[in-house]
Every structure is written in C-alpha cells, then in structure tokens.
Structure 1
Amino acid sequence: MHAASHGTARAGVRHLLSHAGLRPTRQRVALGEILFNKGHRHVSAEQLHDEAVTARVPVSLATIYNTLHQFTEAGLLREVAIEGTKTYFDTNVDDHHHFFVEGSNDVLDIPAAGVTIGSVPEPPEGMEIVRVDVVVRLRPRDRT
C-alpha cells in the first residue's frame, strides 16, 4: 500500500471509530486498519496480535482484547463464540450465521437466508431476543 492509499485508509478508520462513538487513538486506528482494510473476515485476539506485531504496532494482548471488546460494544465487530475457549471477532456485522471447520479452526459466513429457524423459546419476563447465532460445525469427510 503506498502512502496516499495508506493515508486514505487511516482517515476512513478514524471516521469509522468517531462515528461509532470511539475516540480514534493511535492504537485503535492502527488496529482498525489491520481489522477493516482486508474485507470481511474472522479473527481471534491472538491472530490480531500476531498481525499487529508483524505490522510493527506495539500493543499487548490485553490491549487487543480490550480493543476488540470496545469495537464489539460500539457495533463495529460481532463476537462469534465457537466454544468457551474459541472466540472470533467478525468484521461483518450484518445478520448471518457461521460454519466452523474443526481442525483448521476456519470460520466461514453463511448468509442469513441460508438458515431457517422454525421457532425460538419465549424469553423470560422483561427480556427480549437480540439475535440467534447458528454455528454449523464441519470436518473433512473420511476419504476411505
């Protein structure tokens, strides 16, 4: 990426953060560039930390977690919990579901229209359903 496009990307991330109500700090902008300038994708905190280190962005793993949660609370990311220990952050916040490929730990989008949900339980008194997340687990077929 040459300097002009890099500056444009940085301005876009600054605007995105400001519009979401987040102060565009240097670290947030740098992490936002890494997250949002590669199209829709799913990343773990550890993956983002590795990418930040490669991009020479001095940031701790704790700061990565805090930033990912701030971005999620602001509506910029969607948290996808696969298991208790596997959490990914999705840059696509539109209504959709996910495939999870066991073994490779890849997360792939399923369009919302690709899943039909017959019914959901009534929420407890005073609560409302925000969304329903479907994770379809995949593995390669046994080729024998």
Structure 2
Amino acid sequence: MSERGNIVDTLARDRGIEWLNAARLRPTRQRVSLAALLVGDGRDRHVTAESLYAASRETGEAVSLATVYNTLRAFCDAGLMQEVTVEGSKSYFDTRMDDHPHFYWEDDGRLTDAPAEELKIESLPTAPDGTRISAVDVVIRLRRS
C-alpha cells in the first residue's frame, strides 16, 4: 500500500478509536475496524449490517455478519448511531445523531438524509396514559417516475 494509503488508514482508525472512546466503548480490534469504516472519513453514513459486512470483507477484516449486527447494536446502545427501520423489518444504521428526516429510495433500497429545514411538524398526538413519545421517525418514500 502507498504511504498516502497508510496515512488515510491510520487517520480513519484514529477517528474510529476516538468515536468509541467518546462513548466509553472498549476499542476491540473488530469495533475499531468497523468504526473506521463508519466514521473514518468524517462523513455520516447510512448502512445496513449487510453493507457494512461487505465493506469490512473488502478491507480483509475477518468479522462475521453476526458480529457486525451485535456491534451495530452496541453502537446504538452507546448513543453513537441510531437505527432507522424501513419496510417493517429492514434496518439502516445512521451515524448522524441529530433529529432529521430521511428519504428512502424504493427503487434501489437506499436511505439518505432529507433536508430537515423543509420539514414542518406543528403538533403530535397526545401519547396514551402511562406512555411518552420517545422519538418521531420521518421516512419519506421515493419512487422514480
């Protein structure tokens, strides 16, 4: 690998470790590897467990799909990511943690951020007795015409 490639890899790894440390997660080899893929370039990501698994395999990292699922759940539990469920059972994991809407591109199964400044929710229904609203997920489904 070129010297530039090593510098980029080291920077991505360091960002991943910093991200894990911010949530007080132990930086195991597999967590660091996955974190580097998720936040190593400083951009937000929407991934499925399967897409992260494939990206990990491309880097030569030996990690099972079950480990990827468990690690993504640990990242969500630690407040590093949020899970966005589409189509009932398909989960995407988002590294952007502020409240924001999403576009779901039905034709190719992608999830992207939608412009939050254009969304206006004026009120929500009252939660039933004994409950509270914990989150409001806005997923706008798109289909090419």
Give TM-score scaled by structure 1 length: 0.89
The residue identity in structure 1 corresponding to 2:8 is S
- C-alpha separation between the residues in 2 aligned to 1:85 and 1:131? 18
1:66 corresponds to: 70
Is it true that 1:136 corresponds to 2:140 in the alignment?
yes
SS of equivalent residue, structure 1 residue 108 = strand
The residue identity in structure 2 corresponding to 1:47 is S
- C-alpha separation between the residues in 1 aligned to 2:78 and 2:124? 27
The residue identity in structure 2 corresponding to 1:18 is N
Is it true that 1:82 corresponds to 2:86 in the alignment?
yes
Query: Would the aligned equivalents of 2:12 and 2:37 in 1 still touch at CA under 8 Å?
Result: no
2:126 corresponds to: 122
| 2:23 paired residue among 12, 20, 23 | 20
Is it true that 1:93 corresponds to 2:124 in the alignment?
no
User: What 5-or-longer segments of structure 2 have no aligned partner?
Assistant: none
Aligned-pair RMSD on alpha carbons?
1.5
Number of aligned residues: 141
* Cα offset, 1:5, TM superposition: 3.5
Q: Once structures 1 and 2 are overlaid, which stretch shifts more, 14-23 or 125-134?
A: 125-134
The residue identity in structure 2 corresponding to 1:30 is S
* Cα offset, 1:4, TM superposition: 3.0
- C-alpha separation between the residues in 1 aligned to 2:108 and 2:7? 36
| 2:32 paired residue among 11, 29, 34 | 29
* Cα offset, 1:85, TM superposition: 2.7
- C-alpha separation between the residues in 1 aligned to 2:61 and 2:91? 22
Q: Once structures 1 and 2 are overlaid, which stretch shifts more, 115-124 or 61-70?
A: 115-124
Is it true that 1:7 corresponds to 2:10 in the alignment?
yes
Aligned identity (percent) is 45
User: What 5-or-longer segments of structure 1 have no aligned partner?
Assistant: none
